[in-house]
């Protein structure tokens, strides 16, 4: 279908709308960044004002103590940020986007864990050097004699459990439901580690202002968790009375669920976002599962689609019309608000196609200005094929299906049948004027990483690349 030229005024209006949406997004990002860096600078200033630099110059046990204090302060602050990132606080959800939070969560978690271990080792060695004790004896004295240390030891054990089970190799061996339950122990670990900081930490006990600041920060974090992970979802679900309207098979091993409710427009859900869903249909309803919208929200209807893989997705096939639904969300910044150009190139693998379909249904573009590439191991397992066919027919979307096993080398996001292709050249063929395109990518993390590498090699600017990796 030939592209239809839009009136110049419509193009200018579209550009103004995109600029306005970018300004709002940038404002949220600035606010979230200020909170993160503000707390980091605070703990650094706390350490400096407590004589940290002078202690380093002195050397010996005092230097080890000072290093132990700063690693403990930074680790505690990062642990606080970990909890906030898990709490679905709107400031971070809108400022960093879901995929950004996922990457930040992993980075912050790694450094929090590493610095926590460094804090334990350095403080033990420093106190042992000052008291001329065996480090193991000093460690034992910490645990049994110092206020709050038994709780901190239990909290440390829980944090280690969460860190170990979050490693990718261990994560692949766990069901999502089991991993998610274990991951929640991070909240408990953080809470158990808090008392010893405030009861024995010199940086807090020496300053009433520092003590009040730290208590206030953790209390606000606890309130954020309760409000945004418990109260808001309950209120939203009660207000909108969402129920399953229909359940239909989608492809060889997928399902599409449509839900209806009251006043769903007030949720403010946008194509490309996701919710955490709980279906009140027997045992297991308490476990929430994240599924993206697979169709643009219309009237009072929301739609999701999923492969029947884990326990959560398999339960979808057995849902009956009328089943009550609890929701958290909407979440994520994988939306049209990120667009900086008129044209779109969308690439999705497996269930990653579903938010791309909702984007195509909800975004504004002329025929010929949107190209979607879908990847599945076999043609018959593809999701949302009817919706894609309608987009091709009614809106002039170009759909390129590339089924087959992934190529073992080269551009590994392509199928084996295209193993000899250069990935960057293939993308430039799909989007000849890369500066006029936004690229939306959704799929498993490794596949998404491969696509992103080739997009950058093809000349796409980082600000024009938007990703959503649905793996954890």
pLDDT at 3: 42
User: What tokens does 419 get?
Assistant: 């193993």
Q: How far apart are CA 348 and CA 221, in angstroms?
A: 36
Q: How far apart are CA 371 and CA 418, in angstroms?
A: 18
Domains: count for the chain: 3
Count CB-CB contacts under 10 A for residue 219: 10
Please compute the mean of the pLDDT values over residues 385-413 and round it to a whole number: 93
Say which CATH number the domain at 104 has. Answer: 1.20.120
pLDDT at 116: 84
Residues 399, 365: one domain? yes
| Stretch among 3-12, 286-295, 384-393 having the lowest mean pLDDT | 3-12
Residues 214, 357: one domain? no
Q: Tell me the pLDDT tens digit for each residue of 304-332.
A: 999 887 666 678 888 999 999 999 989 88
Q: Is pLDDT larger for residue 199 or for residue 254?
A: 254
Average pLDDT, the chain: 84
pTM score of the predicted model: 0.76
User: What tokens does 460 get?
Assistant: 């796409």
Residues 96, 119: one domain? yes
| Stretch among 36-40, 117-121, 174-178, 324-328 having the lowest mean pLDDT | 174-178
Query: Is residue 236's pLDDT more than 80?
Result: yes
Final residue in a domain of this structure, among 236, 264, 299: 236
| Stretch among 58-62, 155-159, 192-196, 202-206 having the lowest mean pLDDT | 202-206
Based on the number of CB atoms within 10 Å of its own CB, is 88 exposed (0-12), middle (13-18) or buried (19 or more)?
buried
The reply to whether 1 falls in a domain is: no
Q: Tell me the pLDDT tens digit for each residue of 157-192.
A: 777 777 666 666 655 555 555 555 666 666 666 667
Residue pointed to by tokens 């979230």: 32
- Output the CA–CA distances (angstroms, integers) from residue 195 to 68, 151, 192, in the order listed: 17, 8, 7
Q: How many residues does the chain have?
A: 472
Residues 42, 191: one domain? yes
Q: Is pLDDT larger for residue 203 or for residue 77?
A: 77
Q: How far apart are CA 119 and CA 65, in angstroms?
A: 9
Final residue in a domain of this structure, among 207, 236, 265: 236
Residues 207, 263: one domain? no
pLDDT at 454: 95
The reply to whether 6 falls in a domain is: no
Residues 288, 315: one domain? yes
Q: Tell me the pLDDT tens digit for each residue of 50-90.
A: 788 888 888 888 889 889 889 888 888 888 888 888 788 88
Q: Are the CB atoms for 343 and 436 separated by under 8 Å? A: yes
The reply to whether 14 falls in a domain is: no
Name the residue range of residue 69's domain: 19-236
Say which CATH number the domain at 326 has. Answer: 2.40.30.10
Final residue in a domain of this structure, among 280, 314, 331: 331
pLDDT at 426: 93
**Beta pairing, strands 301-307 & 254-260:** antiparallel
Q: How far apart are CA 188 and CA 22, in angstroms?
A: 37
Residues 168, 223: one domain? yes
Residues 211, 257: one domain? no
The reply to whether 224 falls in a domain is: yes
Residue 214 pLDDT grade (very low, low, confident, very high; cuts 50, 70, 90): confident
Please compute the mean of the pLDDT values over residues 358-374 and round it to a whole number: 94
pLDDT at 5: 46
Q: Are the CB atoms for 271 and 298 separated by under 8 Å? A: no
Residue 382 pLDDT grade (very low, low, confident, very high; cuts 50, 70, 90): very high
Residues 281, 350: one domain? no
Residues 203, 73: one domain? yes
**Beta pairing, strands 437-443 & 343-349:** parallel
Residues 367, 429: one domain? yes
Query: Is residue 412's pLDDT more than 70?
Result: yes
pLDDT at 425: 93
Q: How far apart are CA 220 and CA 83, in angstroms?
A: 11
pLDDT at 472: 44
| Stretch among 145-149, 336-340, 385-389, 418-422 having the lowest mean pLDDT | 145-149
Q: If residue 373 lies in a helix (H) or strand (E), which one and from where to where?
A: strand 370-375
pLDDT at 113: 83
pLDDT at 329: 86
Residues 323, 436: one domain? no
Residue pointed to by tokens 């709107």: 90
């Amino acid at each position: 279908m030939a592209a239809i030229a839009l009136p110049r005024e419509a193009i200018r209006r579209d550009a103004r709308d995109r600029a306005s949406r970018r300004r709002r997004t940038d404002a949220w990002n600035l606010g979230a960044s200020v909170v993160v860096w503000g707390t980091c600078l605070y703990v650094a200033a706390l350490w400096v004002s407590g004589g940290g630099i002078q202690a380093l110059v002195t050397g010996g046990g005092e230097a080890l103590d000072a290093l132990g204090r700063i690693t403990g302060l930074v680790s505690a602050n990062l642990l606080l940020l970990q909890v906030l990132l898990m709490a679905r606080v709107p400031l971070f959800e809108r400022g960093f986007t879901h995929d950004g939070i996922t990457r930040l969560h992993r980075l912050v978690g790694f450094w929090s864990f590493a610095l926590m271990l460094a804090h334990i080792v350095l403080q033990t060695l420093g106190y042992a050097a000052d008291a001329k004790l065996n480090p193991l004896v000093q460690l034992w004295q910490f645990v049994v004699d110092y206020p709050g240390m038994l709780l901190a030891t239990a909290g440390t054990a829980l944090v280690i459990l969460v860190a170990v089970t979050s490693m990718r190799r261990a994560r692949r061996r766990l069901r999502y439901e089991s991993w998610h339950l274990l991951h929640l122990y991070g909240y408990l670990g953080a809470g158990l580690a808090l008392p010893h900081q405030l009861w024995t930490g010199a940086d807090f006990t020496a300053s009433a202002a520092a003590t009040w600041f730290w208590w206030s920060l953790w209390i606000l974090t606890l309130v954020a968790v309760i409000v945004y992970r418990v109260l808001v979802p309950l209120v939203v679900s009660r207000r909108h009375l969402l129920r399953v309207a229909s359940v239909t098979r989608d492809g060889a091993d997928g399902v599409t669920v449509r839900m209806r409710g009251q006043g769903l427009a007030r949720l403010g859900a946008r194509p490309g976002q996701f919710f955490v869903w709980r279906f009140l249909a027997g045992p297991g309803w308490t476990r929430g599962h994240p599924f993206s919208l697979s169709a643009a929200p219309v009237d009072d209807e929301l739609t999701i689609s999923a492969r029947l893989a884990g326990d959560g997705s398999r339960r979808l096939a057995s849902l009956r019309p009328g089943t009550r639904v609890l929701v958290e969300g909407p979440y994520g910044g994988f939306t049209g608000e990120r667009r900086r150009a008129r044209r779109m190139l969308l690439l999705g693998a497996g269930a990653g196609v579903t938010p791309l379909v909702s984007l195509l249904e909800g975004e504004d573009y002329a025929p010929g200005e949107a190209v979607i590439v879908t990847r599945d191991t076999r043609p018959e397992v593809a999701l949302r094929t009817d919706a894609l066919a309608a987009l091709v027919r009614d809106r002039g979307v170009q759909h390129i299906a590339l089924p087959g096993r992934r190529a073992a080398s080269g551009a590994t996001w392509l199928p084996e049948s295209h193993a000899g292709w250069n990935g960057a050249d293939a993308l430039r063929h799909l989007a000849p004027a890369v500066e006029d395109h936004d690229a939306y990518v959704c799929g498993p993390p490794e596949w998404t990483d491969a696509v992103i590498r080739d997009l950058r090699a093809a000349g796409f600017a980082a600000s024009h690349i938007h990703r959503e990796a649905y793996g954890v």
